[in-house]
């Protein structure tokens, strides 16, 4: 019998395949992405992660047992101290200070994406929280694996090798797997109308992932 996350994975493939083929993502894998685009990404993803981390805090509050609280607490810690530290290290190598990172103003796409997730998380159930935050973690893991498979032989000379290795790491995989398992547990026994709503959240945030790559590739910001 197909699990709920298997259903999510199968149905989201048309979106994720476009994410994976995006010039920004492929530029990371090839090591050819322009420095200015990556700097734009670092700044925007840094302020994105600040709001994304809040989703795990909300998840811990809505958790139904200590095991689930620990899951959210662990991923919250990794987001704040692993992912964001990677951004700080990269930024430093590009001459961007921590103050500059933290004073970055989110673009319209960034604001729309995080506001969508936070609104659903604050007003919805624990399952709603997980459905919103899962695509970012899961697809980054997929991208890490894909880019290593496609371009692993050239990572030694790739300036973005650490980025790829972070999202293809055992640690990141374990955190993502725990969220996938939790999504299946929370979906179990729910009627189709509720499952369809969870899948809608999953699909929409997956589309926002594409828009995020597009925003950084074109270095889009507020037009006024």
152 burial via Cβ count (<10 Å: 0-12, 13-18, 19+): middle
Are 106 and 98 in contact, with CB atoms under 8 Å apart?
A: no
**What does the DSSP 8-state code read for residue 124?**
S
Task: Give the pLDDT band (50/70/90) at residue 90.
Answer: confident
The 10s digit of each residue's pLDDT in 168-195 is 999 889 989 999 999 999 999 999 999 9
pLDDT, residue 1, reads 83
Active site residues: 136, 209
**Mean model confidence pLDDT for the chain:** 95
Q: Is the pLDDT at 199 greater than 90, yes or no? A: yes
User: pLDDT at position 133, please?
Assistant: 95
Most confidently modeled of 6-10, 67-71, 93-97? 6-10
Q: How far apart are CA 168 and CA 162, in angstroms?
A: 10
Q: How many CA atoms lie within 13 A of 46 on its CB side?
A: 24
Report whether pLDDT(87) > 90.
no
């Amino acid at each position: 019998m197909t699990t709920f996350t298997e259903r999510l994975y199968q149905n989201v493939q048309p979106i994720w395949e476009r994410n994976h083929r995006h010039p920004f993502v492929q530029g990371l894998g090839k090591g050819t992405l322009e420095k200015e685009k990556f700097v734009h990404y670092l700044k925007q993803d840094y302020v994105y992660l600040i709001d994304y981390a809040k989703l795990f805090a909300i998840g811990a509050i809505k958790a139904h047992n200590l095991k689930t609280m620990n899951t959210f607490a662990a991923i919250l810690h990794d987001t704040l101290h692993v992912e964001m530290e990677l951004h700080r290290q990269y930024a430093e190598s590009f001459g961007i200070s921590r103050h500059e990172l933290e004073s970055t103003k989110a673009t319209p796409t960034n604001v729309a994406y995080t506001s969508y997730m936070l609104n659903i998380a604050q007003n919805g159930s624990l399952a709603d929280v997980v459905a919103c935050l899962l695509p970012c973690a899961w697809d980054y893991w997929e991208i890490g694996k894909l880019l290593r498979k496609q371009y692993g032989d050239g990572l030694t000379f790739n300036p973005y090798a650490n980025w790829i290795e972070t999202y293809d790491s055992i640690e990141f995989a374990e955190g993502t797997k725990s969220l996938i398992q939790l999504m299946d547990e929370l979906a179990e026994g729910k009627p189709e109308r509720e499952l369809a709503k969870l899948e809608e959240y999953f699909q929409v945030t997956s589309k926002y992932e594409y828009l995020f790559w597009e925003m950084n590739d074109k270095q889009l910001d507020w037009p006024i």
